[in-house]
Amino acid sequence: MRSAIYRGKVSHKRFGAKEHQFAYRVFYLALDLDELQAVDKLGPWFKLARFAPLQLRPQDYLDSPERLDKHYVWNQIIKTHPQAQETPQGRVVMVAMLRCFGLFFSPVNFYFAYDEHDQATWMLAEVSNTPWNERHCYVVDLKAPQPSPKEFHVSPFMDLDMDYHWCVRPPSEHLAVDIESVKTNKLFQAKLRLQRYELSNRSLRNQVLSIPSMVLKTLFGIYWQAFKLFFIKRIPYVAHQSSMEKK
Protein backbone atom coordinates (compact mmCIF):
# COMPACT_ATOMS: atom_id res chain seq x y z
CA MET A 1 0.00 0.00 0.00
CA ARG A 2 1.37 3.41 -1.00
CA SER A 3 -0.79 5.32 1.50
CA ALA A 4 0.96 6.04 4.80
CA ILE A 5 1.06 8.00 8.03
CA TYR A 6 3.51 10.89 8.21
CA ARG A 7 4.63 12.16 11.61
CA GLY A 8 6.92 14.99 12.53
CA LYS A 9 6.98 18.70 13.30
CA VAL A 10 5.67 21.95 11.92
CA SER A 11 7.60 25.08 12.81
CA HIS A 12 6.92 28.76 12.24
CA LYS A 13 9.39 31.62 12.51
CA ARG A 14 8.63 35.30 12.22
CA PHE A 15 11.53 37.60 11.33
CA GLY A 16 12.03 41.31 11.90
CA ALA A 17 12.24 43.56 14.93
CA LYS A 18 10.08 41.23 17.03
CA GLU A 19 11.03 37.67 16.19
CA HIS A 20 8.75 34.84 17.20
CA GLN A 21 8.96 31.10 16.66
CA PHE A 22 7.39 27.84 17.75
CA ALA A 23 7.13 24.17 16.76
CA TYR A 24 4.52 21.47 17.30
CA ARG A 25 4.29 17.73 16.74
CA VAL A 26 1.80 16.85 14.01
CA PHE A 27 0.65 13.92 11.95
CA TYR A 28 -0.86 13.73 8.51
CA LEU A 29 -2.33 10.92 6.47
CA ALA A 30 -0.90 10.53 2.99
CA LEU A 31 -3.69 8.89 1.01
CA ASP A 32 -3.26 7.66 -2.53
CA LEU A 33 -6.68 8.56 -3.90
CA ASP A 34 -6.74 5.29 -5.86
CA GLU A 35 -6.52 3.40 -2.54
CA LEU A 36 -9.33 5.00 -0.53
CA GLN A 37 -11.55 1.92 -0.61
CA ALA A 38 -8.65 -0.28 0.51
CA VAL A 39 -7.79 2.08 3.38
CA ASP A 40 -11.46 2.14 4.39
CA LYS A 41 -11.29 -1.64 4.88
CA LEU A 42 -8.29 -1.58 7.23
CA GLY A 43 -10.43 -1.41 10.36
CA PRO A 44 -12.58 0.83 12.55
CA TRP A 45 -10.09 3.66 13.14
CA PHE A 46 -10.49 5.19 9.66
CA LYS A 47 -13.60 5.44 7.54
CA LEU A 48 -14.45 7.13 4.26
CA ALA A 49 -17.49 9.42 4.63
CA ARG A 50 -18.66 7.58 7.79
CA PHE A 51 -18.10 8.43 11.43
CA ALA A 52 -14.87 7.05 12.90
CA PRO A 53 -12.03 8.36 15.07
CA LEU A 54 -10.45 9.46 11.76
CA GLN A 55 -12.87 10.24 8.96
CA LEU A 56 -12.21 11.41 5.41
CA ARG A 57 -15.24 13.46 4.43
CA PRO A 58 -14.83 14.73 0.84
CA GLN A 59 -16.93 17.82 1.54
CA ASP A 60 -14.25 19.07 3.96
CA TYR A 61 -11.83 19.71 1.11
CA LEU A 62 -11.38 21.92 -1.95
CA ASP A 63 -14.76 22.90 -3.43
CA SER A 64 -16.64 20.36 -1.28
CA PRO A 65 -16.96 17.62 -3.91
CA GLU A 66 -19.31 14.69 -3.53
CA ARG A 67 -16.46 12.46 -4.68
CA LEU A 68 -12.79 13.17 -4.06
CA ASP A 69 -10.62 11.38 -6.62
CA LYS A 70 -7.52 12.02 -8.72
CA HIS A 71 -9.51 13.33 -11.69
CA TYR A 72 -11.13 15.98 -9.53
CA VAL A 73 -7.75 17.12 -8.15
CA TRP A 74 -6.17 17.22 -11.61
CA ASN A 75 -9.06 19.38 -12.81
CA GLN A 76 -8.51 21.78 -9.89
CA ILE A 77 -4.83 22.08 -10.82
CA ILE A 78 -5.61 22.67 -14.50
CA LYS A 79 -8.17 25.38 -13.64
CA THR A 80 -5.37 27.42 -12.07
CA HIS A 81 -2.50 26.32 -14.33
CA PRO A 82 -3.83 25.32 -17.78
CA GLN A 83 -0.35 24.19 -18.83
CA ALA A 84 -0.73 21.26 -16.41
CA GLN A 85 -3.05 19.60 -18.93
CA GLU A 86 0.07 18.82 -20.97
CA THR A 87 1.25 16.49 -18.18
CA PRO A 88 0.05 12.87 -18.60
CA GLN A 89 -2.13 12.36 -15.55
CA GLY A 90 -1.05 9.76 -13.01
CA ARG A 91 -1.98 9.13 -9.41
CA VAL A 92 -2.63 11.78 -6.76
CA VAL A 93 -1.51 11.57 -3.13
CA MET A 94 -3.42 13.70 -0.66
CA VAL A 95 -1.45 14.70 2.45
CA ALA A 96 -4.01 16.03 4.89
CA MET A 97 -5.39 16.28 8.38
CA LEU A 98 -8.69 14.47 8.73
CA ARG A 99 -11.90 14.89 10.65
CA CYS A 100 -11.05 13.65 14.16
CA PHE A 101 -13.89 12.42 16.39
CA GLY A 102 -16.25 14.52 14.27
CA LEU A 103 -14.24 17.76 14.47
CA PHE A 104 -12.38 19.26 11.53
CA PHE A 105 -9.93 22.02 10.80
CA SER A 106 -6.76 21.73 8.75
CA PRO A 107 -4.55 24.79 8.14
CA VAL A 108 -3.05 23.31 4.98
CA ASN A 109 -3.50 20.17 2.90
CA PHE A 110 -1.24 19.10 0.05
CA TYR A 111 -2.16 17.20 -3.11
CA PHE A 112 0.76 15.73 -5.05
CA ALA A 113 -0.02 14.95 -8.69
CA TYR A 114 2.19 12.40 -10.45
CA ASP A 115 2.90 11.87 -14.14
CA GLU A 116 2.97 8.61 -16.09
CA HIS A 117 6.53 7.93 -14.86
CA ASP A 118 5.34 8.23 -11.24
CA GLN A 119 7.19 11.49 -10.71
CA ALA A 120 5.51 14.18 -8.62
CA THR A 121 5.10 17.07 -11.07
CA TRP A 122 2.51 19.37 -9.48
CA MET A 123 1.47 20.22 -5.94
CA LEU A 124 -1.79 21.86 -4.97
CA ALA A 125 -1.63 23.47 -1.52
CA GLU A 126 -5.06 24.09 0.02
CA VAL A 127 -4.84 26.74 2.76
CA SER A 128 -7.60 27.41 5.30
CA ASN A 129 -8.00 30.17 7.87
CA THR A 130 -9.77 30.56 11.20
CA PRO A 131 -12.18 31.92 12.37
CA TRP A 132 -13.33 32.81 8.85
CA ASN A 133 -13.28 29.20 7.60
CA GLU A 134 -12.23 30.22 4.10
CA ARG A 135 -10.09 28.22 1.68
CA HIS A 136 -7.67 29.12 -1.08
CA CYS A 137 -5.47 26.97 -3.31
CA TYR A 138 -1.96 27.60 -4.61
CA VAL A 139 -0.50 25.42 -7.36
CA VAL A 140 3.24 24.73 -7.50
CA ASP A 141 5.10 23.35 -10.51
CA LEU A 142 7.47 20.95 -8.76
CA LYS A 143 9.81 20.84 -11.76
CA ALA A 144 10.39 24.60 -11.58
CA PRO A 145 8.79 26.19 -8.50
CA GLN A 146 7.97 29.89 -8.86
CA PRO A 147 6.96 32.40 -6.19
CA SER A 148 3.21 32.72 -5.64
CA PRO A 149 1.68 36.12 -4.82
CA LYS A 150 -0.06 35.89 -1.45
CA GLU A 151 -3.78 36.05 -2.28
CA PHE A 152 -5.40 34.86 0.93
CA HIS A 153 -5.67 36.24 4.46
CA VAL A 154 -4.27 33.76 6.97
CA SER A 155 -2.71 35.66 9.85
CA PRO A 156 -4.15 38.80 11.50
CA PHE A 157 -0.54 39.93 11.93
CA MET A 158 0.53 39.98 8.27
CA ASP A 159 -0.92 41.68 5.22
CA LEU A 160 -1.11 40.29 1.68
CA ASP A 161 1.69 42.37 0.19
CA MET A 162 4.23 39.56 -0.17
CA ASP A 163 5.05 36.41 -2.13
CA TYR A 164 5.30 32.78 -1.09
CA HIS A 165 8.53 30.99 -2.02
CA TRP A 166 8.28 27.20 -2.09
CA CYS A 167 10.76 24.41 -1.46
CA VAL A 168 9.17 20.96 -1.60
CA ARG A 169 10.36 17.39 -1.14
CA PRO A 170 7.46 15.12 -2.25
CA PRO A 171 6.40 12.10 -0.17
CA SER A 172 8.94 9.28 0.07
CA GLU A 173 10.56 8.11 3.31
CA HIS A 174 10.41 11.76 4.29
CA LEU A 175 8.29 14.71 3.26
CA ALA A 176 9.35 18.34 3.53
CA VAL A 177 7.65 21.60 2.65
CA ASP A 178 9.17 25.04 3.25
CA ILE A 179 7.13 28.18 2.64
CA GLU A 180 8.82 31.56 2.95
CA SER A 181 6.88 34.84 2.95
CA VAL A 182 9.02 37.41 1.18
CA LYS A 183 8.50 41.12 0.59
CA THR A 184 11.85 42.84 0.19
CA ASN A 185 13.26 40.61 2.90
CA LYS A 186 12.12 37.31 4.34
CA LEU A 187 9.31 38.04 6.81
CA PHE A 188 8.12 34.58 7.78
CA GLN A 189 8.99 30.92 7.30
CA ALA A 190 6.93 27.78 7.84
CA LYS A 191 8.58 24.36 7.75
CA LEU A 192 7.01 20.93 7.70
CA ARG A 193 9.28 17.94 8.36
CA LEU A 194 7.62 14.52 8.33
CA GLN A 195 8.72 10.88 8.34
CA ARG A 196 6.80 8.04 6.75
CA TYR A 197 5.25 5.19 8.78
CA GLU A 198 3.28 2.19 7.63
CA LEU A 199 -0.49 2.61 7.44
CA SER A 200 -2.45 -0.13 9.22
CA ASN A 201 -5.34 -0.37 11.63
CA ARG A 202 -2.85 -0.71 14.49
CA SER A 203 -0.76 2.30 13.44
CA LEU A 204 -3.92 4.39 13.04
CA ARG A 205 -5.05 3.40 16.53
CA ASN A 206 -1.67 4.19 18.05
CA GLN A 207 -1.54 7.54 16.28
CA VAL A 208 -5.00 8.61 17.40
CA LEU A 209 -4.28 7.59 20.99
CA SER A 210 -0.98 9.48 21.03
CA ILE A 211 -2.65 12.74 19.89
CA PRO A 212 -6.38 12.22 20.63
CA SER A 213 -7.50 15.37 18.82
CA MET A 214 -5.15 16.82 16.25
CA VAL A 215 -7.89 19.34 15.40
CA LEU A 216 -8.21 20.77 18.92
CA LYS A 217 -4.44 20.81 19.35
CA THR A 218 -4.07 22.72 16.07
CA LEU A 219 -6.75 25.29 16.89
CA PHE A 220 -5.45 25.82 20.43
CA GLY A 221 -1.95 26.34 19.05
CA ILE A 222 -3.13 28.93 16.53
CA TYR A 223 -5.02 31.00 19.08
CA TRP A 224 -2.34 30.66 21.77
CA GLN A 225 0.34 31.97 19.41
CA ALA A 226 -1.99 34.79 18.31
CA PHE A 227 -2.50 35.71 21.98
CA LYS A 228 1.26 35.92 22.53
CA LEU A 229 1.83 37.99 19.38
CA PHE A 230 -0.89 40.52 20.23
CA PHE A 231 -0.80 40.82 24.01
CA ILE A 232 2.82 40.03 24.83
CA LYS A 233 4.84 41.09 21.78
CA ARG A 234 2.41 43.85 20.76
CA ILE A 235 2.44 43.00 17.06
CA PRO A 236 -0.03 45.30 15.23
CA TYR A 237 -3.33 43.72 14.20
CA VAL A 238 -4.08 43.48 10.46
CA ALA A 239 -7.76 43.36 9.56
CA HIS A 240 -9.07 40.69 7.20
CA GLN A 241 -8.11 41.47 3.61
CA SER A 242 -9.09 40.10 0.24
CA SER A 243 -6.75 39.94 -2.74
CA MET A 244 -8.59 42.98 -4.19
CA GLU A 245 -7.48 45.01 -1.16
CA LYS A 246 -3.75 44.43 -1.58
CA LYS A 247 -1.82 47.67 -1.42
* pLDDT (tens digit per residue) in 84-113: 999 999 999 999 999 999 999 999 999 999
Going by C-alpha positions, the residue among 230, 170, 176, 211 that lies closest to residue 20 is 230
Cβ(73)–Cβ(124) below 8 Å: yes
Tell me what pLDDT residue 237 has: 87
C-alpha torsion sign, points 21, 19, 190, 61: positive
C-alpha torsion sign, points 241, 19, 22, 172: positive
* pLDDT (tens digit per residue) in 18-76: 899 999 999 999 999 999 999 999 999 999 989 999 999 999 999 888 889 999 999 99
Prediction pTM value = 0.94
Cβ(15)–Cβ(173) below 8 Å: no
Element (H, E) at 190: strand 186-198
Give the mean model confidence (pLDDT) for residues 148-171: 95
* pLDDT (tens digit per residue) in 122-133: 999 999 999 888
Q: Where are the alpha helices (DSSP H) in the chain?
A: 36-40, 70-80, 201-210, 214-227
Tell me what pLDDT residue 66 has: 87
